[in-house]
Amino acid sequence: MMKTLLIGCFALLTAPVPRTVLWQAISPEAAQNKAAVLLTVSGEVDRPLKLTASDIAALPRLTVRAKEHNGQEASFEGVALIEVMKAAGMKFGESMRGKALSAYFVIKASDGYQVIFTPPDLDQAFTDRVILLADKKNGALLSAAEGPLRIVVPDEKRPARWVRNVISISVRHAE
């Protein structure tokens, strides 16, 4: 009987579990644990990152107001996505020429949803737009359905590039 139980436990531990189930099981409070990795930044960057809530909180903070999918306005707090990308070693401003303009960021959610942004989407030398990596909405941590991290693009007419439950950013270059 013990052998059967152990085999059953091993099967449970090795069975593939969808990442969304694991991620959604974490409460916003648990996800904000200062040591838990909330976001990875990888790919063609000088400094790949594994950011915790403490790391994100140490970056310059912003608050923006934006209309959500349902048309209701909300206040979102977090860090400008450009600050995360600078922390990964990406260059912006006058040095953004040539190959730097062929870069793109794939932002991925825990459910597999993905969107793309480019450096000019973030850089104030190109746009006045702010793309926010939010961790709070209306003064409270994001709900489990939205966070712990969410991309908010306040001035886009369609919120299709707003991403809930952001888990990673991968930087690539077009060929």
pLDDT at 71: 85
Q: What percent of the chain has pLDDT over 70?
A: 81
pTM for this entry: 0.80
Rounded Cα distance, 154 and 132, in Å? 8
- Residue 148: CB atoms within 10 A of its CB come to 28
Give 13-70 pLDDT, tens digit per residue. 333 333 333 333 344 555 555 679 999 999 999 999 999 999 999 999 999 999 988 8
- Helix intervals (H) in the chain: 2-14, 19-24, 28-31, 53-58, 81-87, 119-122
pLDDT (mean) for 65-93: 94
Task: Read off the DSSP letter of residue 89.
Answer: T
Q: Is the pLDDT of residue 118 over 90?
A: yes
Q: Is the pLDDT of residue 126 over 50?
A: yes
Q: Tokens 């949803």 identify what position? A: 113
pLDDT classification of 78: cutoffs 50, 70, 90: very high
pLDDT at 49: 97
**Sign of the CA dihedral running 26, 105, 47, 151:** negative
pLDDT (mean) for 144-162: 93
pLDDT (mean) for 139-166: 94
**Where do the domains of the chain lie?**
17-173
Q: Which of 23, 42, 45, 81 is nearest to 169 (CA)?
A: 42
CATH class, domain 17-173, is alpha beta
Q: Is the pLDDT of residue 2 over 90?
A: no
pLDDT at 1: 41
